Structure 1
Amino acid sequence: MTEHAVFSDIAAYAELHCISNFSFLHGASHPEELVERAAALGYSALALTDECSLAGIVRAHVAAKAQGLHLICGSRIDFDDDDGSPDRLQLLLLATDRDGYAQLSELITAARMRAGKGCYRALLADLEGRSSGLQHLAGLPGCLAILVPPRSATSDTLLRQARWLQAWFGGRAWVAHQRLLYAEEDLLLERLLHVSQATGLPLVACGDVVMHVRSRKPLHDTLQAIRLGTPVADCGYALMRNAEQHLRSRLRIAQLYPPQHLRETLAIASRCRFSLDELRYEYPDEIVPPGHTPAQWLRELTQRGAQRRYPAGAPQKVLAQIEHELRLIAEQRYEPFFLTVHDVVSFARSQGILCQGRGSAANSVVCYCLGITEVDPAEMDVLFERFISKERNEPPDIDVDFEHQRREEVIQYLYRKYGRDRTALAATVVSYRPRSALRDVGKALGIDLQRIEQVA
């Protein structure tokens, strides 16, 4: 029997509960590491389910495409009952299609907006359609849900949570069965089997993964100590009891879980077909006046700008470059993108707000004619393909700086013209600087503060 035959005889498996280092101070591996490891182990799919976040999904998507691995977009979210009940409901929410991804994104945004920086507050009311402005999210019709039961939960609590899940998600709901070699797991499994029989919700195998390999446990312990503000030596039972929360081999998984629980992972994965490749910019229509197409209006604005920039007439080199750029823009259908940026810049200039386009957009004669940039392409060798390329097949990046004191005026203009439901601010993800990392790790390891400062 060949090695391939032996490998193929092992039960197939899709990991549905996995966080990365984008769950800050909780996950100990990068999304790329998790994807590459899952592919190497022959997993059928991997769900990235960071804590109330989709921040790591782009990196995971790029890595999954390179590895040929089916990536599932999801998130792990703790829900509070708005009646003040102490019981928290932890769910894995997995997007099945583009609508589900949008619903999950909106839910995460609402939960983050309720709390301070780095925190979130999700409510059961959000999933029941009782939260103001979120009624359309009732039951998250584009998502599947997996209940992650607390290890210490009583049978009554588990049954109550499962029945709630069944009522709102119906045939899109499961209960997680997680085998991490803890002493209380056998008792919990008995309770889960009872809940499954009472509600009809199937059990599904999950790994509660926080690292791609077991050797990352010391790093995870350090992250936990930093999060708790306590040296590793004093963390005690707050640390993981073993290193089982890594991407385990399929052989090991097959030894731990009943075959039916493994088959459920594949059934779930088969229903989660959404890919980030489906996302496209949806440009506003109101930037094009009646009687014009986006291409016609962009050409007209560019010609007006060329007359303004070159009162004595544009050089032949510039005119040829304009035609080249407009042709490439039309092929990629990026006219609305340029028109939107032009609209924002025009507003800023009309209000006397200082603004300046920069970066690769300076290689574009069209951007210069539209007033987005101030670098005259006639005075330089234009490298437009650095700005837009057929091969990249993605919209160009136009960076525009607005004076800090009046930036809010520009933001409010966008809200007024395009609506808050179609306008968003891009967030940045907090990451460690080397000195901060050295200080926090040193404290977690109990190193003398004076020595830490010497090194940092």
Structure 2
Amino acid sequence: MNTAHSTQIHYAELHCLSNFSFLRSASHARELVERAAELGYEALAITDECSLAGIVRAHIAANERQLKLIVGSEFHLEEGLHLVLLCPNKRAYMELSGLITQARLNSEKGSYRLSLKDLTQRIRHCFALWLLPYNEKDFTEHTAYAESLKNLFNDRLWIGFQRLHRQGEQLFYQRCHALANDWNLPMTACGGILMHQRQRKPLHDILSAIRLNTPLALLGSHVNANSENYLRDLKTLSSLYPPALLEESADIARRCHFSLSELSYQYPDEVVPAGKTAAEFLRELTEAGAHKRWPRGIPDTVNRLIEHELSLISELSYEHYFLTVYDIVQFARSQNILCQGRGSAANSAVCYCLHITEVDPSRGQLLFERFISKERDEAPDIDVDFEHERREEVIQYIYRKYGRDRAALAATVITYQMRSAVRDVGKALGFDEAMITQLGKSLAWWDKREALLQRLQELGLQGQTAAHFYELVQQLYGFPRHLSQHVG
């Protein structure tokens, strides 16, 4: 490989996993973004495996650090192919979201299943990095799919090459290069990043042990041989890769223009009758509801509140949102399903008139701006509780009316708390159950490092072992452990 230095190095990391690739990456999305910005990268792609769960956190951090963020995801296909898909535009993001949904629906909870046929049916705009298997003697089995990949992606396909100081890497590069020449495919550098700094390698080893449910001492070759899957500085990269491969990564990044900032809420049109605007229909329902709430006459203070709220709702174009919630609540009430709005929505006279909430604005001073304000620049949050035994009826109504392609249950992120971090790190280090139980009872000590180390020594953990255990638990604390269905 010719790795001659160029005057200015341009590089974008196009294959990077955050800790939302559960138990595979040892860094938070924010840490990865901040480190990439410090190193002067042109861009960073967060490409968690069959997931977009970490991308919002990365987006917020990237905006703060003014680093270009590329949205993507990696997949291991049934055919044995390993691909990283990137989103150059909004259409590609829509495709990728649909592909992830399909892959998850194809499989049991917690896993996914995807084939080349699924990509052929869904993907038209995504870029793709094709990562060839390092540990196989030849690419015969994989090159059988080269024509299919070339036909599917056209000029949106690259062979991704990673330099990780593995034995035989020069020969591997030559084989990748030969395949690229045979099929007229460009090559690009990428890192297969699993941590923002190499100092996270001990934690990454622990995560591997947890994922494989095997004590670290018995993992053998299942632990990464070195700590090279981290964000390296530009000088190091220029000594590892041919300049053309580094420049190609930056060129790919420059062709990616999509940002999460382009997304906005899109509410269903079904909630507005033909011949009326959303604003007209919401006003009509609100006024009808107000007359029901105050049959003897609507107080002047309430009329002023309603006008103020409707004006702000109209200015921010939130009518469809209110009408959607109203529609769902009306269905529940028509079926005698108990329901009631709560939280900041109780500050809304419009919500009261729509029978979403039960807080009478004429009996107190509501502060609508706690619920909606121009300054916050985000949609309001109307929480509605439905009786537990009949909530499924409401969910099925939503699916029937709006379609399963436009309605979904929200996820919640389960993160490592201190007790679960202590338990999993202890098991990964091979501690016996009795010691792990005792350590779990010592949680009150965890905010006092010196006192805790002394406590750990009393339980049989000596010197460096105690300090190592403490550091690993602190690093793992707050990591996402898995996604679950939101309880609401």
Q: Does the alignment reach a TM-score above 0.5?
A: yes
Check conservation: 1:21, 1:27, Cα contact below 8 A: yes
Q: Do residues 146 (structure 1) and 93 (structure 2) align?
A: no
Unaligned runs of 5+ in 2: 1-5, 441-488
- By how many angstroms is 1:184 displaced? 2.3
Q: Do residues 63 (structure 1) and 47 (structure 2) align?
A: no
After TM superposition, the score normalised by the length of structure 2 is 0.87
Check conservation: 2:345, 2:371, Cα contact below 8 A: yes
Aligned to 1:301: 285
Aligned to 1:17: 15
Q: Do residues 105 (structure 1) and 106 (structure 2) align?
A: no
Q: Secondary structure at the match of 2:86?
A: strand
Aligned to 1:39: 37
Check conservation: 1:48, 1:72, Cα contact below 8 A: yes
What is the CA deviation profile of residues 14-36 of structure 1, one whole-angstrom value per residue up to 9, with x for unaligned ones? 00000001000001111111111
Looking at structure 2, the residues matched to 420 and 239 of structure 1 have their Cα atoms a distance apart, in angstroms, of 41
Aligned to 1:222: 206
Aligned-partner residue type, residue 22 of structure 1: F
What is the CA deviation profile of residues 256-287 of structure 1, one whole-angstrom value per residue up to 9, with x for unaligned ones? 11011011111111121111111112222221
- By how many angstroms is 1:158 displaced? 4.3
Equivalenced residues, count: 434
Aligned to 1:50: 48
Check conservation: 1:214, 1:243, Cα contact below 8 A: yes
Q: Do residues 116 (structure 1) and 108 (structure 2) align?
A: yes
Check conservation: 1:111, 1:120, Cα contact below 8 A: yes
Check conservation: 2:81, 2:142, Cα contact below 8 A: no
After TM superposition, the score normalised by the length of structure 1 is 0.93
What is the CA deviation profile of residues 421-456 of structure 1, one whole-angstrom value per residue up to 9, with x for unaligned ones? 222222223332332221111100112211111121
Aligned-partner residue type, residue 147 of structure 1: W
Q: Secondary structure at the match of 2:77?
A: strand
Looking at structure 2, the residues matched to 274 and 255 of structure 1 have their Cα atoms a distance apart, in angstroms, of 31
Looking at structure 1, the residues matched to 294 and 148 of structure 2 have their Cα atoms a distance apart, in angstroms, of 68
Q: How does 1:59-98 map to 2 (within 5 A)?
A: 59-81=57-79, 88-98=80-90
Q: Do residues 407 (structure 1) and 391 (structure 2) align?
A: yes
Aligned-partner residue type, residue 149 of structure 1: L
Q: Do residues 328 (structure 1) and 312 (structure 2) align?
A: yes
Aligned to 1:315: 299
Looking at structure 2, the residues matched to 157 and 39 of structure 1 have their Cα atoms a distance apart, in angstroms, of 39
Q: Select the residue among 21, 27, 30 that pairs with 1:29.
A: 27
- By how many angstroms is 1:186 displaced? 1.3
Q: Secondary structure at the match of 1:421?
A: coil
Q: Select the residue among 409, 422, 427 that pairs with 1:438.
A: 422
Q: How does 1:119-198 map to 2 (within 5 A)?
A: 119-129=111-121, 137=122, 140-153=123-136, 154-198=138-182
- By how many angstroms is 1:357 displaced? 0.9
Check conservation: 1:147, 1:162, Cα contact below 8 A: no
Q: Secondary structure at the match of 2:391?
A: helix
Aligned to 1:354: 338
- By how many angstroms is 1:150 displaced? 1.0
Tell me the C-alpha RMSD between the 2 structures: 1.4
What is the CA deviation profile of residues 156-182 of structure 1, one whole-angstrom value per residue up to 9, with x for unaligned ones? 234334333212111000001100001
Aligned-partner residue type, residue 29 of structure 1: S
Q: Secondary structure at the match of 1:269?
A: helix
Looking at structure 1, the residues matched to 91 and 316 of structure 2 have their Cα atoms a distance apart, in angstroms, of 25
Check conservation: 1:151, 1:184, Cα contact below 8 A: no
- By how many angstroms is 1:333 displaced? 0.7
Q: Secondary structure at the match of 2:412?
A: coil
Looking at structure 1, the residues matched to 361 and 236 of structure 2 have their Cα atoms a distance apart, in angstroms, of 62
Q: Do residues 283 (structure 1) and 267 (structure 2) align?
A: yes
Looking at structure 2, the residues matched to 358 and 10 of structure 1 have their Cα atoms a distance apart, in angstroms, of 57
Q: Do residues 263 (structure 1) and 261 (structure 2) align?
A: no
Q: Secondary structure at the match of 1:420?
A: coil
- By how many angstroms is 1:313 displaced? 2.2
- By how many angstroms is 1:366 displaced? 0.7
